[in-house]
Amino acid sequence: MARKYGKHGPREDTFDAVEDGEGAESLPPPDCWLCERPCGETVIWHHPVPKSRGGRDTVPMHPICQNMLITTFTNSELQRYGLDAALLRLDPRIEKFVAWVSNKDPDFKAALGKKKQR
Ligand SMILES: [Zn+2]
């Protein structure tokens, strides 16, 4: 049951606040800001308000959840929602996504809109 991960993790420009020290292993993963499930091995630190819009706060997210957000909303919309994930979840697209992703592995990485060959 070898896990297959590249040696180089995903490089996101939001990926800048991850703790990588020893001892961090005993900490439970943070809950995802969007879907509220625990994060997996990859935690994306997402700026709810885009950095380009002056956002400074970061929240933990699954890669797939961030992907969903940034493909669903424009920066302007994200700025309007700000730090209120509950508001985002009222959006039918997000509501549907959260319901769908709730059965997936925390490290599930579907390429949205892209077929994966096995
Ligand atoms: Zn999530």
Cα(33) to centroid(ligand 1), Å: 7
Q: Ligand 1 is a single-atom ion; what residues have CB below 5 A from it?
A: 32, 34-35, 62, 65
Cα(106) to centroid(ligand 1), Å: 8
Q: Is residue 82 part of a domain?
A: yes
Q: Is residue 107 part of a domain?
A: no
Name the residue range of residue 75's domain.
29-101
- pLDDT over 90 (residue 20): no
Residue 64 near residue 97 (C-beta atoms within 8 A) = no
Cα(60) to centroid(ligand 1), Å: 8
Q: Is residue 108 part of a domain?
A: no
The pLDDT tens digits of the residues spanning 77-118 come to 999 999 999 999 999 999 999 999 999 887 777 655 545 455
Residue 110 near residue 100 (C-beta atoms within 8 A) = no
* Residue 5 tokens, joined: 């991960």
* Residue 35 tokens, joined: 């879907």
Q: Is 46 helix (H, G, I), strand (E, B) or coil?
A: strand
Q: Is residue 3 part of a domain?
A: no
Q: Is residue 10 part of a domain?
A: no
Q: Is residue 91 part of a domain?
A: yes
Cα(61) to centroid(ligand 1), Å: 5
- pLDDT mean over 2-25: 53
| pTM across the whole model | 0.69
Q: Is residue 56 part of a domain?
A: yes
Q: Is residue 66 part of a domain?
A: yes
Provide the number of structural domains found in the chain.
1
Give the length of the chain.
118
